[in-house]
Amino acid sequence: MKKLILGFLIMALSATSIFAEDSKQVIGANPTQRVAKLDMNRIMFVDHDLNRTFFTKNFLFKDKRHDVIRVSVERYGDKRDTGFLEAWVMFRNHTDFVQQIEARVTFFDEYEAPVGDTTAWQRVPLSANSFGTYKELCIDQAAQYFFVEVREAI
């Protein structure tokens, strides 16, 4: 009987080591940003290597959460000093090396319909452990809302 219990324990421990190798398998690899609704006055990382959360599968214990945060949004908002809507975003680099990101914005009117085209990608250099700002002005006075997309510079 003792040999049976001991054998079962050895099998269980070896199974956990096998599944520990499997723990790098990503479950929920689609970050919530990929399926999130388009909300007005928001920022979305379209390059999920810059900022994402994922879970790894663990055989015996609860799934483990992993946060990859190389760049984050520190603050964002809009202003109308000139009568035109200007969207701005302040990014933070959480790494010890320079990050090159790009951002673009789409403006919307009071009915949440797009105003004009999406702007061109604009590069935002971020020094190690520092901040950088992205600003874009809409030249259509009908603009009321904005939506900013962020990716790593190519």
More confident residue, 6 or 137: 137
CATH code of the domain covering residue 36: 2.60.40.3230
What is the predicted pLDDT for the residue at 106? 97
pLDDT band at 58 (very low <50, low <70, confident <90, very high): confident
pLDDT for residue 4 is more than 70: no
Indicate whether 95 pLDDT > 60: yes
Which range of residues forms the domain containing residue 52? 2-152
Q: Is the predicted pLDDT of residue 109 greater than 90, yes or no?
A: yes
Q: Which residue has the higher pLDDT, 47 or 37?
A: 47
Position 10 pLDDT exceeds 60:
no
Give the chain as a 3 state SS string: CHHHHHHHHHHHHHHHHHHHHHCCCEECCCCHHHHCCCCCCEEEECCCCCEEEEEECCCCCCCEEEEEECEEEEEEEEECCCCCCEEEEEEEECCCCCEEEEEEEEEECCCCCEECCCCCCEEEEECCCCEEEEEEECCCCCCCEEEEEEEECC
For residues 34-47, average pLDDT: 83
- How many independent structural domains does the chain possess? 1
